Amino acid sequence: MKLRISILTLFIATLLFSSGCSKKNKATTLKLAHGLDPSHPVHKAMVFMAENLAENSNGKMKMEIYPSGQLGGEQQCVELLQIGSLAITKVSAAVMESFTPNYQVLGLPYIFLSREHSFNVLDGDIGKEFLNSTEQFNLKGLCFYDAGFRSYYTIDKPIHNPADLNGMKIRVMKSQTAMNMVKAMGGSPTPISWGELYTALQSGVVDGAENNPPSLYTSRHYEVCKKYTLNEHTAVPDVLIMSSVIWNKLTDQEKEWLQEAANASVPEQRRLWAEAEELALKEVQKAGVEIIYPDKTPFMSSVENIFESYKPQPEIYDLIQRIRKVK
């Protein structure tokens, strides 16, 4: 992917004056920006990371966090990283497909059989390979954050097996992988932007969507969709990425402090996410949503051909097999 810097990105970069890594009173200060609300589990984990970094470095390293899109949207933050005007941001692993095709594997349906399986993959050697795979684009992965499992929610028709999706229009992200999954299960995938989805559900443009429990709750889609089937087809993680331009300017000690702080934030983020999921499920049930726990086997069987379709791409197919072998 070629480096693309928008006029808005350049404007924001000039507003930052210094690079994303600045010196204040001899302390190295890293700027971190993202588009999430301060109440989000990921933001809270970032605050935990910043506190850990300051404590372990005895104040020699600090982190300034800019939430809620203060320094631009996701694309602008990535561009700022690439030119070294911002140190760190958070993106979905799906975004990283633009830089290396291997990242698409993390969005395949049922590539992860459980939360523990996904953690074992992402915390191990395979996860490290992903994090280091985009350095040629001036982006270094620091760690993965949990973004939960995505499942189907519909207006009024319960989904117990893939056959129930026949003829149903299901909103998906603008992702070929997501579209192929819904098609394989018998539904009709309909890409719609997240901001337009509530209205699309309310007006019947689509019959349902798919996402994790906190997203169903915070989006208030539960006001329209009263059936939530926890078939848990995908678990696309978030990725904490850093500007390689800035990383390479850090001393070995600073790199160690930062990586340790990022690593320490991972279990904290997972704990916070689990709490958010529990709260979300409890609240949507209070609002009248029926939670359905289906047999996942038919759903898994319906998408098996998607894995086989990667045989002509040996590198990706081998990666799929390696992930599936992890216990």
| Sign of the Cα pseudo-torsion (171, 210, 276, 54, in order) | negative
Query: Residue 6: pLDDT band by 50, 70, 90 thresholds?
Result: low
What local confidence, expressed as pLDDT, does residue 8 receive?
56
Say what the pLDDT of residue 23 is: 52
What is the reported pLDDT for 173? 87
Mean pLDDT of 309-321: 97
- Domain 152-234+287-325 classification at class level: alpha beta
* Same fold flag, 7-148+236-277 and 152-234+287-325: yes
Per-residue pLDDT at 245 exceeds 90: yes
Enumerate the domain spans of the chain.
7-148+236-277, 152-234+287-325
Each residue's pLDDT tens digit, 177-196: 899 999 999 999 999 988 89
Q: 12 pLDDT exceeds 80? A: no
d(CA 96, CA 311): 22
28: helix, strand or coil: strand
Comparing CA positions, the residue from 56, 122, 63, 58 lying closest to residue 88 is 63
Q: How far is CA 214 from the centre of its chain?
A: 13
The mean per-residue pLDDT over the stretch 57-85 comes to: 95
Q: What pLDDT, on the 0 to 100 scale, is given for residue 5? A: 52
Q: Distance (Å, rounded) from C-alpha 279 to C-alpha 283? A: 6
* DSSP element (H, E) containing 170: strand 169-172
pLDDT of residue 19: 47
Q: Which DSSP category does 102 fall into?
A: G
Mean pLDDT of the chain: 93
How far is Cα 114 from Cα 234, in angstroms, rounded to an integer? 10
Mean pLDDT of 229-246: 98
Q: Which CATH superfamily is domain 7-148+236-277 in?
A: Bacterial extracellular solute-binding protein, family 7 (3.40.190.170)
Q: Where are the alpha helices (DSSP H) in the chain?
A: 7-15, 41-56, 74-82, 115-122, 125-132, 176-184, 197-203, 213-218, 244-247, 252-286, 297-302, 304-308, 314-325
